[in-house]
Chain A
């Protein structure tokens, strides 16, 4: 908690990462609207609301990767990650603290992205708020957990900004399929399907949390 609170405090003061992530995510949504919305006569536009789950999660994925790199760069400057590894705390708690801070930042991005997608694409995303919130929370948690492990592992690597998406995205594929399926089923009114995919996200998050807690120390020690 101390570590997560420190990250939130530094971010609240600099507003560097969250602002950049939110702006970037908003730009992605805007670009999607330019790419997919077409006039269909009489001042109407074509209906692409069924594609909106993809827009939400792609914007979150891109913005999240941006924030992930920067959040761990802060631990590289002045070698604070080494300082944390030397501190008398379980090394797994470093991972949990960073993941929690990143989770908060991603969730803030989603608070910006979802209303924008509703606005631009007229998507009824807010019709089942509980399902939406569960999907967003578990999706963000999974991204933060897996992302934190890989970002910490690549901290000492020179080309980490290039490598991070390359190694991270394949692992995140099941998470994004489940998040998009859950959101799509919710739009189509298939709540049973949505809950199935939410449970899948819960299992995914649990498996990767256990694996991360188990391997984090050996991945970050030189």
Chain B
């Protein structure tokens, strides 16, 4: 059971008097969907609702597998991988211990092999694997968070500013991980202001403005310049 499409219908979210999302309709399929917009446009709220951790005020999110809607709950959550502003890592545990802990919760098979392989993929220095994550730099934390997100090979990937804190090699590792997720036909929603890094792999762009979809388009691919133009034309 893997998620191959996500359908968002009439989604609204209010925090008291503040309206974060206003009747958002959107459908995402396999590939990278870039969710663009200025700060406070409602991007993270939308990602939070799609991840199932934020309750919408109105509307619904359907997770589809071969056209059939999947039921919510642990089975569905196993298909979702989230890389957010927060790393979801325990500072008192080492990189390997963190991955083993999350791997156990996600019932990952061959956990040790998979953890080691992912730590190599994200380029985390081998000497740091057994050191407490609390001693890591911002970039190292982000690399480990990326490994944690990819640990269970999610079919729905939700990434909120994933390039933050990454150096060039870290960004390359993330791009490689995204490419690998695209190859296995994962549905990927990326919020980023680093348009250059997602330019070649993006096939769907949605621009949010003040909680509503201001523009949505699909294409076989977007150049950096095209993404930049779309962002400036619709987000401000």
CB of A88 within 8 A of CB of B77, answer yes
CB of A80 within 8 A of CB of B106, answer no
Decide yes or no whether B92 CB sits under 8 A from chain A.
yes
Given contacts A82-B53, A87-B106, A88-B105, contact A77 B91 (CB under 8 A): yes
Decide yes or no whether A44 CB sits under 8 A from chain B.
no
- Assembled-state Cα–Cα distance A6/B102 (Å): 10
State which of B54, B74, B85 has its C-beta within 8 Å of the C-beta of A88: B74
Q: Give a binary string over A134-158; 1 marks a CB under 8 Å from any B CB, 0 the rest.
A: 0000000000000000000000000
CB of B106 within 8 A of CB of A82, answer no
- Assembled-state Cα–Cα distance A88/B76 (Å): 7
Across the interface, which residues of B come within 8 angstroms of A10, CB to CB?
A: 90, 92-93
- Assembled-state Cα–Cα distance A77/B77 (Å): 22
Across the interface, which residues of A come within 8 angstroms of B48, CB to CB?
A: 222
CB of B88 within 8 A of CB of A89, answer no
Decide yes or no whether A41 CB sits under 8 A from chain B.
no
- For B82, give the chain A residue with the smallest CB separation: A86
State which of A13, A79, A83 has its C-beta within 8 Å of the C-beta of B92: A13
CB of B75 within 8 A of CB of A88, answer yes
CB of A78 within 8 A of CB of B55, answer no
Interface magnitude class on chain B? 20 to 34
Across the interface, which residues of A come within 8 angstroms of B74, CB to CB?
A: 88-90
CB of A2 within 8 A of CB of B92, answer no
CB of A86 within 8 A of CB of B80, answer yes
Given contacts A82-B84, A90-B74, contact A222 B106 (CB under 8 A): no
- Assembled-state Cα–Cα distance A82/B84 (Å): 10
- For B15, give the chain A residue with the smallest CB separation: A222
A interface residues, tally (CB under 8 Å): 23
Across the interface, which residues of B come within 8 angstroms of A3, CB to CB?
A: 105
Across the interface, which residues of B come within 8 angstroms of A83, CB to CB?
A: 82, 86, 88, 102
- Assembled-state Cα–Cα distance A83/B77 (Å): 11
Minimum CB–CB distance for B216 against chain A, Å: 26
CB of B91 within 8 A of CB of A222, answer no
- For B78, give the chain A residue with the smallest CB separation: A88
CB of A78 within 8 A of CB of B102, answer no
Minimum CB–CB distance for B121 against chain A, Å: 20
Decide yes or no whether B9 CB sits under 8 A from chain A.
no
CB of B107 within 8 A of CB of A88, answer yes
- Which of A10, A74, A82, A88 has the most CB atoms of chain B within a 10 A radius of its CB? A88
Across the interface, which residues of A come within 8 angstroms of B75, CB to CB?
A: 88
- Assembled-state Cα–Cα distance A83/B106 (Å): 11
CB of A222 within 8 A of CB of B54, answer yes
Decide yes or no whether B120 CB sits under 8 A from chain A.
no
CB of A89 within 8 A of CB of B105, answer yes
Minimum CB–CB distance for B189 against chain A, Å: 14
Decide yes or no whether A221 CB sits under 8 A from chain B.
yes
Extra contacts besides A83-B82, A88-B77, A90-B74 (19): CB < 8 Å: A2-B105, A3-B105, A9-B97, A10-B90, A74-B92, A78-B88, A78-B91, A79-B84, A80-B88, A80-B90, A82-B53, A85-B53, A86-B51, A86-B82, A87-B77, A87-B105, A88-B107, A222-B48, A222-B53
Chain A positions within 8 Å of B, measured between CB atoms, are: 2-3, 6, 9-10, 13-14, 74, 77-80, 82-90, 221-222
What are 27 of the A-B contact pairs (CB < 8 Å)?
A6-B90, A6-B101, A9-B97, A10-B92, A13-B92, A74-B90, A74-B92, A77-B91, A78-B86, A78-B87, A78-B89, A79-B84, A79-B87, A80-B86, A80-B89, A82-B53, A82-B84, A83-B88, A83-B102, A85-B53, A86-B51, A86-B77, A87-B102, A88-B78, A90-B74, A222-B54, A222-B55
